Chain A
Amino acid sequence: MSKIQNLELLVVGGGPAGLSAALAAANYGIKVSLTEEREFLGGQLIKQTHRFFGSEKEYAGTRGIDILKKLIDEVNKNNNIEVLLSSRVLGIYEDNIVTILNDHKMKKYYPQSIIFATGASEKFLAFENNDLPGIFGAGAVQTLMNVYGVLPATNVLMIGSGNIGLIVCYQLLQAGVKVAAIVEAAPKIGGYSVHASKLRRLGVPILTSHTIKKAIGKEKVEGAVICELDSNWNEVKGTEQLIKCDAICLSVGLTPLVDLLKQRKVKTTYVSELGGYVPLRDENMETSIKNLFVAGDVSGIEEATAAMIEGQIAGLSVAKRIGKNSKDEIEERIEEAKNELELLRSGPVGKKIRKGLSKLGLNHGKNYNEKFSEEALDISHLMKTGVPSEENLKNKLPSEEKVFDKGPIAISECFQRFPCDPCVKSCPFNAISENGNINNIPYVDFEKCTGCGICVSKCPGLAMFVIHKNFSETTSVVIMPYEFLPRPHKGEIVKVFDREGKYLCDGKVIRILDGKFQDKTAAVSIEIPKEYYLQARNFKVEEGNHG
């Protein structure tokens, strides 16, 4: 029989939470073993080609895949971390002995503490024919497409409009796949408005109060029947419609993967706001079993940024307990991380999480400033359609038309309160402000703005535009973010669209900022007839124009 290996900390799961936990502890001298089921680290980060929201401190504005590179690099450089890939934790016993299957061999470990960062699994949906090939979980589409470079289909119907559904739709379009529509059973869009707006500009319909009835096809998906729902979530008779598609992607939520925790008899409880059964835990992420911590989606479904901070809190808490020195410093860092989490969760989009946490008896020990838990603007139309209302727009445009006479100015089309600040941090002229709270809506100070266009590439929501109304007697220029292929050429004529993806006019490409700084979110200046400067928000480059 193999020897039992003693360890200070075992981290189960190599996603954002696990990596952050391992690093936080190892940086204070704790010996860590990090196990990951797959043959590579990264969890969901490996598929995230979009820039992250959240605060700059936690890598906001950076693409998930690049955050991952940084984390892995740090892990590899850290001598206190041993990484066990292709390693499955099979069991954890009452005496805290953990068995791990690695390379067809069973290994036994006796860790002083464990952090479970096992993540989540996707929920399924009941409808006729839901087992056909061509029906995927959203994560599967992302894995095939972004990890292996394999196209899952040519025309996809997305079910669910949460952030994952919206993000995957955008990534499908980037990979050259058509998105037939996004179907959402709730009366409003589940994800952030900026993600939805991005898709609408590209012409993807978002059908709120709709659901899928059945999938069509014999060997493989050939279409779907969808229908409308009334306010009681009942089908509206006579609204059935057939959607042609060759894949159906389900993005109907995640549920924490608590199986291993249950083995160790960690107390769990059902909290719908957090995705299902979640472990009871304290503010330091410690479960009902001493020295057994959780972090990330397994502790409740939230964003990757929150998962990374939770990982840090768990890792630091272990370091504080085992460590011999720097306890005050660790304590300080734990406090900092907790404050950061609290800030992230303090806006209206954090409401659900806050409610879920309070059911676990957690409220970060403080009451949230309720001022931030309401939207500043009426965004009901935006959240139903993905398109901002006239009222919303008026709020963000200069109050006096003559401001446009000054020259190019940035317009922020971000109307929802959610934790995000790369626009604020990116502006070298301090022209964008969120009034001290990351959950506030950004406003541009038109006096300070020089129209440089830096924010256009830095906003992860692609919600920043620069408008130069009086570019010439008859034309205006709009700088728009662009993340597609083919890339435009200077002088090229492109098709220009409005916020609903409707064709407006032709435009001429007059300048392209597409260097290292823009990091693949080009800022493209398009000259258009003056009458469209308030509508032109997207453009397409015709494939045929390129050799």
Chain B
Amino acid sequence: MRIQNHPILCFNRGKQIKFYYNGKELIGYEGETIAAALYANGIFKFSESKKLKRPRGIFCAIGHCSSCLMTVDGVPNVRTCITPLKDGMRVESENIGVEINE
């Protein structure tokens, strides 16, 4: 799902890098955000809502809505839509399969 040719823009993508999504190896480009790289790989579900387990994905893409939070290199609640992708990064979905007892 990457744009190859565009009538107005030309995308100067950085170097190809590897990263991991829930343990699975994926390819992204230097200079893009984690969220953009995931989306380009066809991944749209980033987490589940805590209580009702509803799927969550990108909504604003500029760090304002918190719907793209994931655990990145062990740090929870990272806004993936404004965090640049780094080589070897480990990105994990949040709350998937986690039971909350109240």
A219 proximity list for chain B (CB < 8 A): 44-45, 55
Return B9 CB to nearest CB of chain A, in Å.
Answer: 6
Chain B CB within 8 A of A533 CB: no
The chain B residue sitting closest to A247, CB to CB, is: B44
Cα-based distance from A97 to B58 in the complex (angstroms): 35
B61 within 8 A of A: yes
CB-CB nearest 4 A-B residue pairs: A133-B57, A140-B61, A149-B11, A148-B36
Q: Which of B4-62 contact A (CB under 8 A)?
A: 5-9, 11, 13, 32-33, 36, 39-40, 44-46, 49, 54-62
What CA separation (Å) do A151 and B6 show in the bound complex?
Answer: 12
Most buried by A among B11, B13, B55, B81: B55
Question: What chain B residues lie within 8 Å of A451 (beta carbons)?
Answer: none
Given contacts A132-B55, A136-B59, contact A150 B1 (CB under 8 A): yes
Contacting pair B6 A148 (CB below 8 A):
no
Q: At the interface, yes or no: A426 with Cβ under 8 Å from chain B?
A: no
Other 10 A-B pairs with CB < 8 A, given A121-B64, A175-B3, A175-B6: A37-B63, A38-B82, A131-B54, A133-B46, A134-B57, A136-B61, A143-B81, A150-B40, A219-B55, A220-B57
Question: Which residues of A are interface residues toward B (Cβ below 8 A)?
Answer: 37-39, 49, 63, 65, 121-122, 131-137, 139-140, 143-152, 174-176, 219-220, 483-485, 520
Complex CA distance for A148 and B35, rounded to whole angstroms: 10
A132-B45 Cα distance, complex, nearest whole Å: 9
Rounded to whole angstroms, the CA-CA distance of A219 and B33 in the bound complex is 22
Please state if A146 and B9 are interface contacts (CB–CB under 8 Å). Answer: yes
Cβ-closest chain B residue relative to A63 = B8
Least CB distance from A234 to B in Å reads 28
Q: How far is the CA of A219 from the CA of B96 in the complex (A)?
A: 13
Q: Is the interface of B mostly helix, strand, loop or mixed?
A: loop
Interface SS, A side? loop
Structural contact, A131 and B49, CB atoms closer than 8 A: yes
Q: Which residues of B contact A175 (CB under 8 A)?
A: 3, 6
Shortest distance between the CB of B35 and any CB in chain A (Å): 8
B8 touches A483 (CB 8 A): yes
Query: B7 — which chain A residues lie within 8 A by C-beta?
Result: 174, 483-485, 520
B44, A220: Cβ atoms closer than 8 Å? yes
A133 CA to B61 CA, complexed, in Å: 12
Interface size on B, residues (CB 8 A): 35
Report which of B33, B57, B62, B64 forms a contact with A148, defined as CB distance below 8 A: B33
Q: Given the interface contacts A63-B8, A148-B36, A150-B1, does A137 sit within 8 Å of B57 by beta carbon? A: no
- 30 pairs of residues in contact across A and B, judged by CB atoms under 8 Å: A37-B63, A38-B62, A63-B8, A121-B64, A122-B60, A131-B49, A131-B56, A132-B54, A133-B44, A133-B45, A135-B59, A136-B58, A136-B59, A137-B59, A137-B60, A139-B61, A140-B60, A143-B62, A144-B61, A145-B3, A148-B33, A149-B2, A150-B39, A219-B44, A219-B55, A220-B45, A220-B57, A483-B8, A485-B6, A520-B7
Report the Cα distance A146→B10, complex, angstroms: 9
| Contact string against A for B residues 62-102, beta-carbon threshold 8 Å, 1 for contact and 0 otherwise | 11110100000000000001101000000000000000000
The residues of B that contact A484 with a CB separation of less than 8 Å are 7
Contact B84–A148 (Cβ < 8 Å)? no
B11 cross-chain contacts in A, Cβ below 8 A = 148-149
Hey, which chain A residues are within 8 Å of B54, CB to CB? 131-132
Q: Report the Cα distance A140→B1, complex, angstroms.
A: 15
A520 cross-chain contacts in B, Cβ below 8 A: 7-8
Which A residues are CB-close (under 8 A) to B13?
149
How far is the CB of B71 from the nearest CB of chain A, in Å?
A: 18
Among B2, B45, B82, contact of A150 (Cβ-Cβ < 8 Å): B2
Determine if B3 and A149 form an interchain contact, defined as CB atoms under 8 angstroms apart.
yes
Q: Is the CB of A144 within 8 A of B36?
A: yes
**List of B residues within 8 angstroms of A147 by Cβ:** 36
| Bound-state Cα–Cα, A131 to B65, Å | 11
Complex Cα gap A146–B7 (Å) = 11
In the bound assembly, the distance between CA atoms of A531 and B81 in angstroms comes to: 52
Which of B2, B6, B8 lies at the interface centre, i.e. has the most chain A CB atoms within 10 A of its CB? B8
**In whole angstroms, what is the CA distance A149 to B9 when docked?**
9
Could you say which residues of chain B place their CB within 8 Å of the CB of A38? Answer: 62, 82
Separation of A32 and B11 alpha carbons in the complex (Å): 32
State whether B44 touches A151 (Cβ < 8 A). Answer: no
- The distance in angstroms between the C-alpha atoms of A252 and B65, with both chains bound, is 16
By beta carbon, the residue of chain B nearest A151 is: B1
B63 x A220 contact (CB < 8 A): no
In the bound complex, residues from chain B placing their C-beta under 8 Å from that of A176 are 3
